[in-house]
Amino acid sequence: MIRQILSIKKYNQSSVSSKNFLDFSQFLEKNVLSSAPRQISTATIRNTKEREKYSKCYDRSGKCQGCEKNKNWKKDESRLSISEAIREAQRCLKCTDAPCQKGCSTTIDIKSFIYNIEKKNWYGAAKVILTDNPLGLSCGQLCPISELCARNCNVSSSEKGAIKINKLQEFAVSMFKDMGVKQIRDIRLPKNDHFVFESSIALIGAGAASLSCATFLGRLGYKNITIFEKQQHAGGLVMSEIPMNRSPVDDINWEIEQVKQLGIKFQFGKEFGKDFSIESLRKDGFECIFIGCGLNEPKKGLGNIYSQSHILNSKTFLPKVNKAVKQDKDIEGTPKLSGHVIVLGIGDTALDCARSAYRCGAERVSVIFRRGWQDIRANDEILIPSKNEGINFIPYEQPIKLIDINGQLKEIELEQNLPINNDPYNLKYKLTGEKCRMSFDYLITAFGSEIQNKELQEFINSENGFVQINEKHQVKGCDWLYAGGDAVGVANLVDAVNDGKTSSWNIHNYLQRKYSISQLTPDHLPSYSTEIDNIDLSINILGVNFPNPFGLASAPPTTSYPMIKRAFQEGWGFAVVKTFVLDKDAITNVSPRIYKSTTDPLKQDPGYANIELISEKSAKYWLEGSKQIKKEFPNNVLIGSIMCQHNEKDWRELTRKCKNEAQFDMLELNLSCPHGMTELGMGRACGENPQIVKDICEWVTSEIDIPVIVKITPNYPDSAVIAQAAKDGGAKAVTLTNTFPTLMDPDPLGTPWPAVGEENNVTYGGGCGSMLRPIALRKTSEVAKAIPDLIIFGSGGIIQGDHALSFLRYGASAFQICSAVQDQDFATVFYDLKTSLQAHLFASNHLNQKQWKGQFPTTSKPAYSFSSNNKIKNLVGTGLHHIKDIADMKRENFLIPKINEDSCLKCGRCYLTCLDSGYQAIKFDNFNSYPNIIEELCTGCALCHAVCPVEGSISMEIRATDIVVNRGIPLENEPEGLINHITSKKK
């Protein structure tokens, strides 16, 4: 095929030179252009039967007949891909009030972890989740978000509905799980050497509540924690009753291992009430006991009907299923069902039974329940998949009794049970007397469960059948006995996790009071922690110690000292104050002046522009305030920022003020402001003349002995020339770069934005954020290559951790940030930047052998490595050797796109872009076909790779065939050494 294409191509090349330049070849017309869009908004004719046939043949809705699921325990929905997760995260508004967090049982900071996902920081997201929910992965898979966090989502009424918080949570923790990092106790916490931390604590049952309670106690520092479990495994209902298709066993096993990593001990095969009691635990020296056992017996609404083997209950059926599939990994070992299976009940457990019945061989499954659709107990997260699997739902029917047919119970009698009122929140039902019968081959009851354990009888509330606790989760006033989870009647897995968390804090308070510790230590529930958090991000720049390389640029986020104080409180390493001037040059800003500089109609891209000038505050304010801020934050770096005209007297006067009246660690000279100040002879007006830059630097450095930084304009063609002038004048560092002059689209009537005054005036504003980053990276690399010993502060579009990593590799030592904060807030942005950079540095060393690129798993081994034991300064400039002039780049290594059919969506976007913006090298046979690369026609431009909406669906690999450069018409005078034929390296 390829040879045929090649010969056709050669023929058409030769014939086109003598005949027609305007028409595609016959081969391209037939094989490539056949699927090309022709004319838009043209009526079409197609028989309805064709549509019906297509819809049936290419159904992607996921609906099926449940019998097709026989022995198929594959997870219902695959984990989101990276691109899917980012797109979903971008939909989130990151609301200030975060109603989702208030609706979350464990109060996870949902908006923050979704922000981390949007910024491709899986570790940061997982850390947020696991800090409040140690079973964050299982809860991501099983959480009834329709009743919890998503129920209150501010975008619930939008076209796409509430954010898929559960899917994003599962994605983040699952990605982090793949990194294989262990949990440790936070080393920043006080030492746990007080004898209170030797207290013995027992937890009964190894389900969600106990695992959560033990985790938080371990994080607090308690050393003698033991979980007693009657089974030979931990995990509670997630392990024994939740089917594999909803919660894979490897995930709960990982969560259990995370608990063990804190030193928690497990004793399996120990049944409460048989092998031990609360009294025996107390005699064995346990100072506190947490009851986290489940509901051990099924409710038997139809009496003793379980003597026949084809009649089961959820407590016998689901554990047998999960023992075979999850624990023994023996699909053939599940209970064998056939024919018609009836499930009684409509809770999550009932639907787990129904869906598992299909996977155990049932041909038809019916779920019968006495309620109506408006008040069923099952959540949407399991109800919708159940409907998609073809389960037959029969509402308003009360099971009355089973009917004996020839010695076997093979029919069930039902009586209609209809509502008698219209209150949707308190429906009342009444039996109508109208009865019917239905036959079955197997019957599974799922009426709920209850506690039947003599050890707990004295603690049971007779009204609801659960263990009675107070607001501190203490049992019947026993200050040393606590309970949570199913035993106290929680509604779901996440509530059980929260019971364990709150109980751990109350146990901590009790033990510290018991040992007369006046100051609670620790005084908060510790965060999830790993060795990633211990990676040192400090760096010494020009003799000044920076706690981390993340700082605020001289911009709106540093408008005042209270703002800088809040930033330092949240962890930022340094701040450059808003540029100030002598009193004679004071300004007043216009309004409006800050706006989005993005082509994104949804305004989700963190790009901004402004026509804001320098600080309106006096020089005295900035000088005096610097002393106060340095007194309160002596370890943070404060950098002054000043501006004058090209006037030696002014520069020397303002510099002396900074030296004598302020307490700055460094001084930045703003020679790059692109608007407003330029017209006054300042900023960019001074920064585009190398001699002027040198003059100003000489004046300033002769007056002050702290390091001087020059903030360089991006508008001068060669930043290295300006940087060299700054260095020659005595400056020790440069900031690359300031904003770039831009003009945004007016509205359709021609009114601009921002529109100042009644005349709706606008001017060229400084654009920054994402649009500026490629320019700033170029400027940074140019200066780093030209002047290796000059320190660079990277600035311009640093929104997330991998952006910071890019600036590091291209020569920057620290980062000045503005747009990211404008888009979010100090705390969220700093946390994301810090954890993301730490995770990238950790992964670059520890996961390099696992073929990861930073936080990204990949199929090809990265070409670099980085030791987490080194300082980040050792990473500065390590990517510069890759930057070459095009003339110096090799022509021998040509790549070709490869389509990954496992992830390709068959959308054909690669085909379209190659068709009208490339080389017509992709064949696409219309709907539901994979694109095919015509290797002989492909030049390896990678445009298809750039437009593909699914990350990883197109990779660039070494081509298998030679490439012949298409000159159209052969050159009459060919330059010496010109390459026309490139031999494949694959050969």
Pairing assessment for the beta strands 791-795 and 765-769 based on DSSP bridges:
unpaired
CB 223 within 8 A of CB 194: no
CA distance 966 to 954: 24
The CA distances from residue 114 to 131, 151, 165, 677, in Å, are: 15, 17, 8, 39
> Positive or negative CA dihedral for 385, 390, 396, 402?
negative
Residue owning tokens 């379209």: 912
Spell out the alpha helix ranges (H) of 261-398. 278-283, 314-322, 348-359, 380-388
Which residue in 209, 127, 227 sits closest to 169, CA to CA? 127
CA distance 715 to 889: 27
Residue owning tokens 């691109």: 83
Token duo for residue 483: 């309970």
Radius of gyration in angstroms for the set of CA atoms belonging to the chain, rounded to a whole number: 34
Which residue in 778, 653, 677 sits closest to 718, CA to CA? 778
Which residue in 53, 19, 35, 157 sits closest to 99, CA to CA? 157
CA distance 252 to 258: 10
Three-state SS string across 396-420, please?
CEEEEEEEEECCEEEEEEEEEEEEC
Which residue in 118, 28, 15, 7 sits closest to 918, CA to CA? 28
644, 673, 697, 938: the active-site residue = 673
CA distance 606 to 820: 6
Q: How many helices and strands (H and E) does the chain possess?
A: 29, 38
Omega before 598 within 30 of 0, i.e. cis: no
E strands in 465-524: 474-475, 478-483
Q: How many CB atoms lie within 10 A of CB 63?
A: 11
> Positive or negative CA dihedral for 476, 482, 484, 486?
negative
Which residue in 499, 469, 500 sits closest to 214, CA to CA? 500
The CA distances from residue 217 to 239, 255, 505, 634, 934, in Å, are: 23, 16, 8, 34, 61
Residue 713: which residues within 8 A CB-CB, separation 6 or more?
671, 672, 674, 683, 684, 687, 688, 722, 737, 738
- Our answer to whether residue 478 is catalytic in this structure is no
CA distance 481 to 473: 8
Point out the residues that are catalytic. 673
